[in-house]
Amino acid sequence: MSVKEEHAANPAGPPATSAGAEASLPPRSGHAEAAEGSPACADKSPGHQAVAGACCGARDLSPKLRGVLTGSCLLLGIAGYLASSLYGREDFANALFAGAYLTGGWAPTLEVCRAFARRKLDVNFLMILAAIGAIFIGHMGEGTVLLFLFSLSGTLERYTLERTARSIEALVELHPDTVTVVRNGEEIVVPMDSVVAGEMVRIKPAERLGVDGVIESGRSTIDESTITGESIPVEKGPGEDVFAGTLNYKGTLLVKATRTAGETMLAKIVRTVREARSGKTQAERFVERWEKPYVVGVLVASASAGLFAYLYGKPLDEAFYRSMTLLVGASPCALVIATPAAVLAGLTRAARLGVLFKAGRYLEAFHDAKVIALDKTGTLTQGKPEVVEVFVAGGGEDGQAAQLRLLAAAASVEKHSEHALAHAVLTEAKKRGAKLAPVEDFHAHVGEGVHGNVGGTWVGVGRESLFRSHEHVFPESVADVGRRMREGGVTALLVYVEGGPAGVIGIADKLRPEAPAALARLRRMGITHIALLTGDHERVGQAVGDQAGVDEVKSRLRPDDKVAALRHLKEGNGPVVFVGDGVNDAPALAAADVGVAMGGGGTDAALETADVVLMRDDLRGLVHALWLGRRTRAAVRRALFIAFSVIAVLVVTSAMGILPLWLAVLCHEGSTVLAIFSGLVLLVERAPVIAGD
């Protein structure tokens, strides 16, 4: 079953929240907190409402308050120890220990209440039970140590997870509260939420953009690192896209808004990451599924250990002490937190690298992938046809001037054409400074080309059939140059100027410069097969595939053909990642085990369907995604190994009666902290460097 099929059968996590909603953090038990209005809190059974009313509506404690309570527990515990050991004041010491119990056990007790409100048992219950048991056998001091270390572990866990989440939530603050719009010729300041698509927005120097839009006038340098992850500011001018949350450096811009505040790229990033945090990976769902039976098993085992010790002649307090020690040693705190900590760190690091995962489960899926299939136009290539070659028959020593004259004649005619390649000719002519002339008697012939009279001279641009139908003889030697270009995957426009030289303009969608190095790095990281799936002609597809270094090229594919091709690739090679950007790629993005969209030039359909978005519009993001999938899985396994190893040692030694309660607590909480930091290493680990970085 694929990741998507499994998710459809077992949907996990609440629906995405709005961009302005508060972030939710996974609690110590690994479950989402019960909220007012949830099924748990809505239960009307007798006795349930008292717990639900006290706990469901209560907000979780902040890391700062948890820190204060933990520190108070430590100070009261030390004071109680001194009062007992130095002054022999057991009554005063017990009062201080009681205060330590109250401060150290406050947060875990709230967690237990919330779990009870959901009719669940979690590791907090085991810790509270062990602390209460310590009171009955006269070991309040060790119970205080237990609660302090447990509270300290919970505080560190909350702090690290909240800090990780805050790096994403800080994006919300990048949206300015107000923007300056131009209405009826006047500039007025309005709330950002009131701006509608089509309105003109004035962006001043050193000001953050509040809208996604297109520059109508002005030029400036813009820091887009918040959206693309690219640290180098980019030059922007008329006709270019800009995004909300980015920083305008020096120029004044007039921007036409293309989206409302709630639909900007920044708002979508925030919503997507929040949804990803609420989703569960396969490992998380496994832990949650077995947590309650495990807790019950620990309770039974602890009670059995104490009972056997008592039946075999141990005093009641010693037997009970051994039971409490086993209860602490076998508690699965580190097991529960290992996966969420690593996944959350992986998602955050991915966002910093310009890779947006819509759910943590896709990190897992990337780890398992062995095959990557890519679309051509806009994915492997830049998606913008450009003139790559201009040939003029008999150009001689004055080749540049001859090319300029040919381009000027072709562009003068193409100026009136609506064909997609006409823009490439016009752009090249403008770049070279060619002067266009008026055109008369313009005609366009579908499938053949265009022609018109430029200064009284007949000029045609297109295929050989255009010239034959108008009784013009196109030189065979020049036509051979056009055929050579086509064999190399370049679109050849034949140009004929009556009474002048003939020529060929070669147009191609250039390969992304980073593509060969990125695909080569993917191979070294374990990808066994890379395929190019395109609807283009075989010659063009093969030429691009050869340049990029793919293993297989499938051409002339319709959207449903791409889906069939993905199924075939999956049958022979395992999980498949598909990378695309267009509306026609949406079915394939949905059918793949992991669908990846190019964020910069991708269509809305592709971005909505994809599971992962490369915000930098750079194929090196695929390398980072695969690296993070592998490193996240390694972090989870590392943390689980630590957790299982410590639990095994603690269970054996506590069952043998050679492990004191305070040492069990220290080792148990230490393993929990190690499990957390095992995942958080992803935030600072060095990312792979690809040629061109």
Active-site residues, by number, are: 375
Region of 499 on the Ramachandran plot (φ > 0 left; ψ -120 to 50 alpha; else beta): left
- CA gap 258, 263 in Å, rounded: 9
- CA gap 470, 460 in Å, rounded: 10
Residue 223's DSSP bridge partners are 247
Cβ atoms of 492 and 479 within 8 Å: the answer is no
Please tell me whether residue 464 adopts helix, strand or coil conformation.
helix
Provide CB contacts within 8 A for 419, sequence distance 6+: 444, 450
Which among 415, 424, 421, 420 has a CA at the least distance from the CA of 386? 424
Name the E strands within 487-638: 491-497, 502-511, 529-533, 552-554, 576-580, 594-598, 612-614
Cβ atoms of 340 and 26 within 8 Å: the answer is yes
- CA gap 375, 580 in Å, rounded: 5
- CA gap 326, 320 in Å, rounded: 10
Cβ atoms of 130 and 328 within 8 Å: the answer is yes
Q: Which residue has the tokens 């690290």?
A: 160
* Single-letter amino acid, residue 167: S
* Single-letter amino acid, residue 421: L
- CA gap 412, 408 in Å, rounded: 6
Residue 235's DSSP bridge partners are 221
Q: What are phi and psi of 401, to 5 degrees?
A: -65, -40
Q: What is the layout of strands, in order, in the sheet containing 220-223? A: 234-236, 220-223, 247-248
What sign for the dihedral angle of Cα 255, 258, 262, 264?
negative
Cβ atoms of 207 and 242 within 8 Å: the answer is no
Q: Which residue has the tokens 């293993």?
A: 551
Name the E strands within 393-528: 439-445, 449-454, 457-462, 491-497, 502-511
User: Cα separations (Å) of 69 from 61, 106, 132, 157, 671?
Assistant: 10, 8, 18, 15, 22
Please tell me whether residue 247 adopts helix, strand or coil conformation.
strand
Please tell me whether residue 392 adopts helix, strand or coil conformation.
strand
- CA gap 591, 586 in Å, rounded: 9
- CA gap 628, 360 in Å, rounded: 11
Cβ atoms of 485 and 587 within 8 Å: the answer is no
User: Cα separations (Å) of 237 from 189, 222, 242, 653?
Assistant: 24, 10, 10, 70
- CA gap 299, 326 in Å, rounded: 9
Instruction: List the structure tokens of 510.
Output: 């250039």
Q: Which value, to the nearest 10 degrees, does the dihedral of the CA atoms of residues 68, 71, 73, 76 take? A: -120
What sign for the dihedral angle of Cα 469, 473, 479, 480?
positive
